[in-house]
Amino acid sequence: MTDVREVAEDDWAIMRAVRLDALRDMPCAFGSTHARETAFTEADWRRRARGRNGFLAYLPDFGAVPVGIAGGIRESADTAQLVSMWVRPRARGRRVGRTLVAAVIGWARAQDLTRVCLWVTDSNEQALRLYGRCGFTPTGARQPLPSDPSRTEIGMTLPL
């Protein structure tokens, strides 16, 4: 069973390690790069931990090593954006992603928001299937991936 914990400011180093693992594992899935985020200072990571409603996932057989990460950012008065979603390759297929998505949705509901949106690289079939199983639908919006404009992201939304 997946244990999901909200990220506190003092968890910045753990959050940093997982985020950098994610950027190494799936560089084409994120709007940032490993090189860019490696340069962030402790103050940058602490600010991120405070400004993002982040969640870390743990599985018993991985011990104290987080197996996934996701975050929620208030985008507008009624909308949250799901960001930074990633699950370690060895933990995929064990409902970790669904549990992290549910944590962000729960946070958004607790904030009385009425929808959650996200951007996903159109070639990331595994993520597209996950978000579809969680109830997200494509919006029709498309944009270049900020870290690699040769790739395209599609917008998805979930009404709450």
Number of independent structural domains in the chain: 1
Predicted pLDDT at 51 = 76
Give the rounded percent of residues in the chain with a pLDDT score beyond 90.
Answer: 97
Each residue's pLDDT tens digit, 43-96 = 999 999 987 899 999 999 999 999 999 999 999 999 999 999 999 999 999 999
Q: Please state, in angstroms and rounded to a whole number, the distance separating the CA atoms of residues 96 and 136.
A: 17
- Average of per-residue pLDDT values in the chain: 96
Query: pLDDT tens digits for 120-131?
Result: 999 999 999 999
Q: Which CATH number is 90's domain given?
A: 3.40.630.30
Please give the residue range of the domain that contains residue 51.
3-159
